[in-house]
Amino acid sequence: MVPETVVARTERRWVTLMAAMLVAMMTVIVGTGVVQALHPASNVETVDPTTLHLRGEFVESNLGTALEADGSATVRFIAEQYAFVPSCAIVPAGTPVKFRLTSADVVHGFLLPDTNVNTMVVPGFVSEVRTSFAKPGVYAMPCNEFCGLGHHGMWAHVRVVPKEQFKQSENGERTSCAEQ
Ligand code: CUA
């Protein structure tokens, strides 16, 4: 028989260890939230995934980058098996950028490595992420949520160009990589 005092001491040690791990994990979550702006997606905005191509915000002519009146940029993508539409978006550097995505079929992922952008794209919901890019460059945009047999080939790109080089066509058309 193990004496009761030994059992109690062992249990106290394990409880202390568990509490320390919880504190460490909470510190990481709060720390990355404050320092790197890594936040869980929090907007609950619904959309009908069966009529995306027919009407509303995610019709094909509205996909890509749009400049807003306040100088910020809004980028809209549709994720579908196995591609993002459009396959490349251009955004200006040093500008607030808002990404809005939704899925036409299953759950996909939206990730821009080395940024605070990482969210799931769920059919029926709009995923919105805000960020800004300090310098020009090309960001790979892999789907990071297993979505089927073609998941590994589901990629797009975000190309960040100098602010003065970014131009929106006059007739309000969305900017895509093909046009610049
Ligand atoms: Cu889409 Cu994985």
Give the pLDDT confidence of 10-43 residue by residue, as tens digits: 999 999 999 999 999 999 989 988 887 777 666 7
Q: What is the pLDDT of residues 98-113, one digit of tens each?
A: 999 999 999 999 999 9
108 CB within 6 A, ligand 1 = yes
Q: How many alpha carbons lie under 13 Å from residue 18 in its C-beta half-sphere? A: 6
125 in helix, strand or coil?
Answer: strand
State in Å: Cα 107 to ligand 1 middle. Answer: 7
Q: Which atom of ligand 1 is the closest one to the Cα of 108? A: 1
95, with CB counted inside 10 A (0-12, 13-18, 19+), is middle
Do residues 120 and 145 make contact, with C-beta atoms less than 8 angstroms apart? Answer: yes
Ligand 1 near 122 CB (within 6 A): no
- H-helix segments, the chain: 4-35
